[in-house]
Amino acid sequence: MRDERFERFEVEPFTGSLGASIRGVDLVADDDDVVREVQRALHEYHVLAVRDQSLDIERLHVVARRFGPFSGNPVHTPVDGYEDIVRFVREPDDSGKVIGEEWHMDLAWLARPPGITMLFGEEVPPVGGDTCFTSLEKAYQSLSPRMVAMLAELTGIHSGRGVFAINAAHSRLGLKNEYESVENTAVEHPVICEHPVTGRKYVFVSSVLTHFKGMTEEESRPLIDFLMARAIRPEFNCRLRWETNTLGMWNNPYVLHTAINDYSGYRRVMYRTTVEGGAPQAARLSS
């Protein structure tokens, strides 16, 4: 099924909840109107697989900056010469967890989490190694009005505690020397938020949500667990199947994602960058 609202390129939805594949664009060479249309598709679908992009590190840098400034990354060591790009490598004989194997949001513990994450597949397995996403907008829509009203009064505390330890478990991933500052970072985000362009509401929940303001972690945990379980229900999911020269893009604050560890024996090389986002906005709820 093609989305006929987009005339300058082909948009084919992944599922009824979120995600779409795009073909027929060159994000390096096409004009700014095409980039704006891709941005519009991203607002609509939250996850895009932009196929057939001939990118190297320099071109990925150029493409990312067409969508906005770099968000910053206090955790990972970038590739030489490009502070905004990180290289993720998994060799055929590597074992254990892959990076990003748990449901998470990128850098949710920042005051301004990245608005867009981009991941480019330089070398991908012939099968496996997909990335799954889930819609925090659909999770919001599944909640009862009374639950929404209660959550709208809460502020979530998202912490960088333990982030370095998780990343340090992956020996091929370089880390910056900012352990203490990240470990001690904790930010406040509204629980019920709205998209600044579409106005659509979503639940801002993440794997680093430790508690709610004015509540203990013990008191908060049952509600956090409920929200995470609700968010990752399969009917809210999509699966991005990687192909060589695919650029994956997602509206980071509006989804959770997880890497699938099912490609033992194959090499996978990906490059990641992020685009600056704004502070999550509390939703305006009708009385």
pLDDT at residue 285, as a whole number: 85
Amino acid 247: pLDDT: 98
Rounded to an integer, the average pLDDT of 228-238 is: 98
Domain boundaries, position 34: 10-275
Domain contains 4: no
CATH number of the structural domain spanning residue 70: 3.60.130.10
pLDDT at 45: 97
- Assess if residue 280 is contained within a domain: no
Asked if residue 284 is part of any domain, the answer here is: no
pLDDT at 213: 98
Q: Does the pLDDT value for residue 287 go beyond 60?
A: no
106 in any annotated domain:
yes
Q: Is the pLDDT reported for residue 274 higher than 60?
A: yes
Q: What is the pLDDT of residues 7-38, one digit of tens each?
A: 999 999 999 999 999 999 999 999 999 999 99
Specify if 286 maps to a domain.
no
Looking at residue 164, its pLDDT comes to: 65
Q: Please give the tally of structural domains in the chain.
A: 1
Taking only the tens place, the pLDDT of each residue in 146-169 is: 999 999 999 999 998 877 677 766
Mean pLDDT for the chain overall = 94
* Percent above pLDDT 90 for the chain: 85
Determine the Cα–Cα distance for residues 112 and 109; give it in Å rounded to an integer. Answer: 8
Q: How confident is the model at residue 110 (pLDDT cuts 50, 70, 90)?
A: very high
Would you say residue 281 lies in a domain?
no
